[in-house]
Amino acid sequence: MVISVIIITLNEAHNIESTIINARLAAKWSSGRTFPIEIIISDGNSIDDTVNIAEKFADKVITSSPGRFRQLNEGVKHAKGDIVVFLHGDTLLPKGALIKIYNVMKDSNIIGGGFEKSWNWNPNIKRSSFIKFLNYVWESFDNWLVRLFKTFPGDNVIFVRRNIFNELNGYKPLWICEDFDFIRRLKAYGKKKIYCIQLQVLTSARRLVNYGFLKTKFIWCFIYWFWRLGMSPERLRVRFKKYSTVPENHNRSSIRI
């Protein structure tokens, strides 16, 4: 069994080296032996040094037009693994995470799943005690929902058997919520099982800094429920035109409410 880790990037020069290194470490047993993986960078035509850095550390680097669904699907086309793992360029896998996937997927009834998540805050960002408390409560609640419903956002690191991914025709061409759409179709696939690995991946909190903590959370909630109630991707894009799916690096020194 081989695991293909597909990392999607767009101007992630600040993050991609550590993301790849952590993915390598996530494939090591405690004995030091390494599980066979391949790391594929699916880049959306970055204009910074993302590709140059990635070529030093990844097994394969491909490029396509930007768009998460497009980059994810392109990555799978170049993968050789029996299991594909979808990783955002600003998300770090914990130690042993890929070994855990391997052990879970030994059960032929399991077709895919994801992880819990915690936010990776820049240590230079000042957070009040209130923001820290809000983050703890919201993070705990989000992880409880993930365990309960087995519905994973993309930055919770989704994994799936490649043959099942192909049968589902991959990710649909959606501007946003392509991850929720895919998981919903995955859960509807036969009577197989979705598994939540109770390890927390570490995802950059820069969106929470850029837009403000509460504003970002409410935007996400509104986008999700408007999508679930049937609003088209085109209307969602118009309604939330000030929200970008591509996180930007920030220069702020403190977090806003």
Per-residue pLDDT tens, the chain, 257 aa: give them: 899 999 999 999 999 999 999 999 999 988 888 889 999 999 999 999 999 999 999 999 999 999 999 999 999 999 999 999 999 999 999 999 999 999 999 999 999 999 999 999 999 888 999 999 999 999 999 999 999 999 999 999 999 999 999 999 999 999 899 999 999 999 999 777 999 999 999 999 999 998 889 999 999 999 999 999 999 888 988 888 888 887 776 666 667 66
pLDDT at 241: 84
Any domain includes 223: no
pLDDT at 160: 98
Percent of residues in the chain assigned helix, strand, coil, to nearest 5: 40, 20, 35
Q: Any idea what the CATH number is for the domain that residue 162 is in?
A: 3.90.550.10
Question: 142 with 152: CB under 8 angstroms?
Answer: no
Number of domains in the chain: 1
pLDDT at 105: 96
**Order of all β-strands in the sheet with 3-9:** 60-63, 37-43, 3-9, 83-88, 158-161, 110-120, 193-204, 91-92
Largest CA distance in the chain: 52
User: 102: domain range?
Assistant: 3-123+150-205
218-255 per-position pLDDT tens digit: 999 999 999 999 998 889 888 888 888 877 766 666 67
Any domain includes 225: no
- Measured distance CA(39)–CA(3) in Å, rounded: 9
Any domain includes 133: no
Any domain includes 211: no
pLDDT at 73: 98
pLDDT at 253: 63
pTM: 0.94
- Measured distance CA(27)–CA(208) in Å, rounded: 30
- Measured distance CA(222)–CA(220) in Å, rounded: 6
Any domain includes 18: yes
Any domain includes 187: yes
Any domain includes 173: yes
Question: 89 with 218: CB under 8 angstroms?
Answer: no
Any domain includes 183: yes
pLDDT at 1: 83
